[in-house]
Structure 1
Amino acid sequence: MSSPALLDVFTSTGALLNGHFKLTSGLHSNTYFQCAKVLQHPEHLAEICRHIADHFKKNNIDTVISPAIGGIVVGTEVGRQLGVKTIFAERKDGAMSLRRGFSIEPGEKILVIEDVITTGGSVAEVIEIVKSYGGEIVGVGTVVDRSNGKVTLADNQYSLLSLEVRSYEPADCPLCKDNIPLESPGSRASKNN
């Protein structure tokens, strides 16, 4: 799937939003990728994940792990297409952790899958969890990389769509200065800054 084709899918499903958004990273942006609106359609989910799975299929992956909540759907489908176990890390008291009986064995080959990265913070936390269990990171796959490749989390990193989307620290946000209402559509939506 080409980048223009994926952008068309985001647009046609209403998943490419324009406005004033607080991202999961805490940064502000005028553009938001609401992957859930694309991934709710099985045909888009399957095709997007097929491209990601194809990129990593020769890496002898044992397990796919994703950060909750955005990465779970993508990670599960990539894992299904690769025929491997899928797990997720989730926040407890503000920190990512493995729960629900999930575990990683030393030497287990792990692929980290996320829907969208901006700063890569959630994925970096998941990578640290994997390493703390003795797992081996074989790659990181994402649907959208908002940093246009500026955020490197693994040697084998692949994004289906990589583009630079402006993000701002809240104190420097021109949208805030223009008094444009702030929305927090992400999974860690919180009170507006």
Structure 2
Amino acid sequence: MTYDRDALLDLIRAEALQTGDFTLASGKKASYYLDCRKITLHPKGANLIAEGMLSVIESAGKLPDAVGGMAIGADPITASIVTIAGQRDLPIKGFMVRKEPKGHGMGKQVEGPVEPGQRVVIVEDVITSGGSAIKAVEAAQAFGLHVDCVIGIIDRLAGGAEAFAAKGLELKVLTTIRDFGIEP
């Protein structure tokens, strides 16, 4: 399967985009809601997202050692990318960032086959303020990983890109809310 942006837009429109009155994780009110789990856990959606994000990654020139992000939202994205990368014989591994360090065992916050010094890309579903992905970036950096960029499925255009820029990171996205005729 190759990346088909129009198919991803159609799937988001049909499965994930809802209109009404919603309260976001940030506490802000919104007239629409994006439930991207309906896409990241969908067989076609998982493939489209992985192909799209791999396309963004490959266009950067040098492959990262791994992709990952904040559990639970980034987990299916990471798994899809790692699966497609493996089918293409690309050496990209996956990792996940716990919301807080594990309270037992080795007490890790970053889990997976990554080592300090490796280059990684943080993945995220919906970018609003960037808060969740920034926490993943900070945990990855504290672990010793070098974060190349953040890639999201959809940007609500609500300050996330600016928040990443303030941290010296570029936000790359597959879509924005404007692709659905909604102004931020």
TM-score band, normalised by the shorter chain?
0.7 to 0.9
Higher relative contact order (CA 8 A, sep 6+): 1
Q: Is the 8 A contact 2:122 2:147 kept in 1?
A: yes
CA contact (8 A) 1:88 1:98 kept: no
| TM alignment of 1:140-151, pairs within 5 A | 140-147=150-157, 151=161
1:103-140 Cα shifts (integer Å, max 9, x gaps)? 74221101100011100001111111111122111121
Give % identity.
26
Match of 1:109 among 99, 113, 119: 119
1:86 pairs, out of 79, 85, 94, with 94
Query: How many residues are matched?
Result: 162
**Secondary structure at the counterpart of residue 110 of structure 1:** strand
Name the SS of the counterpart of 1:77 in structure 2: helix
Whether the 8 Å contact between 2:128 and 2:159 is mirrored in structure 1 is no
TM, length-normalised to structure 2: 0.75
How far apart, in 2, do the equivalents of 1:131 and 1:39 lie? 25
Distance in 2 between the 1:66 and 1:150 partners? 15
The aligned amino acid for 1:9 is L
Match of 2:73 among 70, 75, 78: 70
Gaps in structure 2 of 5+ consecutive residues: 87-91, 102-106
Q: 8 Å contact 1:10–1:38 — kept in the other structure? A: yes
Letter of the structure 2 residue corresponding to residue 90 of structure 1: R
Specify the code of the residue in structure 2 equivalent to 1:54.
S
Aligned residue number for residue 41 of structure 2: 40
Q: CA-atom RMSD, angstroms?
A: 2.7
